[in-house]
Structure 1
Amino acid sequence: MTSLQVLIKEIKNLKPIPAVVTSLLGIVDDPNASMKDITKIIQYDPAITADILRTANSAYFGLKHPAETIEEAATMIGTDQLVDLVMLKVSAQVTNGSQEGYDLHEGALWKYSVSSALIAKQVAGQLDLPNKNSIFTASLLKDMGKTVLNKFVQDAFEKIYNLVINENFSFMEAEKQIIGVNHAELGGMIAKMWQFSPKMVGIIRNHHLTSETMVRDKDIAVVYLSDCICMMMGMGVGADGLAYRFHRQAMEHIGISAEDTLKIIAEFTCRMGEVEALLKVA
């Protein structure tokens, strides 16, 4: 059995993503979707409903009166925040743990993914992009391929590292060369298996802008830029963190300057305490 066949088997063995996520992704960016449409989807998943109510009623949100239903939680914390919490819960199941092959300790990938997603949503809001919730979720789950590829990278790390150091390969190019697939491609396969929209699959698969034509897609460019900003701040910099190509044209295409990037970093750094608190309750 080839490495790729083994990897596909590993994907099929993944715990299925809750059906509520696929349903939510189908309507969260629809301007005509109401709060009732969104809460109706969530309330039919008892486990997620219980988890969200526990989190909404935690000290983090400081509600004066405990929410007893998803509708009450949505009214008190806002629909956007409610949807983000659902996605955070799901991403914790997918990306928590350690990834030794990428030199990421317990919880590092999840913390980085959450930070990247919050930055992506912030930038999408600045640019007034219509798909900010999908951008948030794609950024949150974009590196889920690493969770499957981890042990393969660990076994082949010396060969991968040799290509990066001696042959000027990016880490992802080296993954592809040695294993037959890179973590972004694998993430796209998982997203497709979980029946995400073609748009979401495309963002996850192309979040490192492996093709220069991808820079024309603002949603992908925003997710890519949020990834770069996290690395600038030292987040998610495991074994592969500094071995990627930087595409300046992505910034130019979406209209974000170096000065804008510094402001985004400064604003996010001020919110780090809030992010840490959110991670604890999520």
Structure 2
Amino acid sequence: MSNLQIVIKEIKNLKPIPAVVNSLLEIIDDPNSSMKDITKIIQYDPAITANILRTANSAYFGLKRPAETIQEAAMMLGTNHVVDLVMLKLCSQAVKGTQKGYDLHEGALWKYSVSSALIAKQVAVQLDLPNKNSIFTASLLKDIGKTVLDKFIQDAFEKISNLVINENFSFMEAEKQIIGVDHAELGAMIAKIWKFSPRMVGIIRNHHLSSETMVRDKDLAVVYLSDCICMMMGMGVGADGLAYRFHRQAMDHIGISAEDTLKIIADFACRMEEVEMLLKVA
């Protein structure tokens, strides 16, 4: 059995994302959907309802009075905020843990994924993009492939590192060369098995912008930019670190300047304490 066949077999060991995620993703970016449509999906899942109410009523949000229903939580926090919380809750197990092959300690990938998703949403709102919630979720799960590929990276790290250092490969190119698949490609396979939309699968597959023509896709460019910003702040910088190609054209295409990027970093740095609190309750 080849490395690739073994890796693909490992996907089956992943706990699948609950089906409610796909139901939500189908309607949350529809301009004709209402708060009622969204809360209707959530309210019939007792575990999700309990988790969201507990989070909404935590000190992080500081509500003047506790929300007793999903509808009340949506009214007090805003529907988008509730949807973000649902996605964080449902996707948290997928990216938690330690990824030793990538030199990411316990919770590092989770913190990076949440931070990347929050930044992506912030930029999407700033640019008034229509698919803000899909961008958030794609950014949150874009590195899901690393959770499966991790132990293979650990075993092949010396060979991968040699290609990066001596042959000018990006880390992802080296993954593909040595293992037969890279983490983005594997993430797309997982997203497809989980029945994500072709759009979401495409964003996860191409979040490192393997082709310069991809910068024309604003949703993809925003997810890519959020990834870069996190690395600039020192998050998600494990063994693969900065061994990726940087595509300045992505910033130019979506109209984000270097000054804008610095402001995004400064704003997010000011919110880091809040993010740490959110990570504890999410």
TM-score for the superposition, normalised by structure 1? 0.98
Match of 2:219? 219
Cα separation, 1, equivalents of 2:8 and 2:192: 12
Cα separation, 1, equivalents of 2:168 and 2:174: 9
Question: Map of 1:125-204 to 2, 5 A cutoff?
Answer: 125-204=125-204
| Deviation string, structure 1 residues 220-269 (Cα, Å, up to 9, x no partner) | 00000010011011110000011000001111111111111111111111
Cα separation, 1, equivalents of 2:155 and 2:213: 33
**Which has the higher mean CA deviation after the structures are superposed, 110-119 or 46-55?**
46-55
Match of 2:97? 97
Aligned length in residues:
282
The SS at the match of 2:98 is coil
Match of 2:251? 251
Match of 2:76? 76
Match of 1:276? 276
| Deviation string, structure 1 residues 62-84 (Cα, Å, up to 9, x no partner) | 22222221111111111111000
Cα separation, 1, equivalents of 2:214 and 2:37: 33
Would you say 1:267 and 2:277 are equivalent positions? no
CA contact (8 A) 1:97 1:107 kept: yes
CA RMSD of aligned residues (A): 0.8
Shift of 1:92: 1.3
Cα separation, 2, equivalents of 1:63 and 1:265: 27
Letter of the aligned partner of 2:188 in structure 1? G
Match of 1:50? 50
Match of 1:5? 5
CA contact (8 A) 1:11 1:190 kept: yes
Cα separation, 1, equivalents of 2:144 and 2:103: 15
CA contact (8 A) 2:87 2:137 kept: yes
Cα separation, 2, equivalents of 1:60 and 1:250: 34
Cα separation, 1, equivalents of 2:84 and 2:260: 25
Would you say 1:117 and 2:117 are equivalent positions? yes
Question: Map of 1:202-241 to 2, 5 A cutoff?
Answer: 202-241=202-241
CA contact (8 A) 2:17 2:91 kept: no
Cα separation, 1, equivalents of 2:79 and 2:181: 37
| Deviation string, structure 1 residues 3-59 (Cα, Å, up to 9, x no partner) | 111122111221111111010000110111110100111112221111111111112
Cα separation, 2, equivalents of 1:221 and 1:6: 32
Cα separation, 2, equivalents of 1:217 and 1:77: 30
Stretches of structure 2 lacking an aligned partner (at least 5 in a row): none
| Deviation string, structure 1 residues 105-134 (Cα, Å, up to 9, x no partner) | 000001001111111111111111000110
CA contact (8 A) 2:187 2:205 kept: yes
Q: Which runs of 4+ in 1 moved over 3 A?
A: none
Cα separation, 1, equivalents of 2:60 and 2:255: 35
| Deviation string, structure 1 residues 195-228 (Cα, Å, up to 9, x no partner) | 1111111000000001112111000000000100
Cα separation, 2, equivalents of 1:247 and 1:257: 13
Cα separation, 2, equivalents of 1:116 and 1:272: 12
Letter of the aligned partner of 2:61 in structure 1? F
Cα separation, 2, equivalents of 1:149 and 1:142: 13
TM-score for the superposition, normalised by structure 2? 0.98
Stretches of structure 1 lacking an aligned partner (at least 5 in a row): none
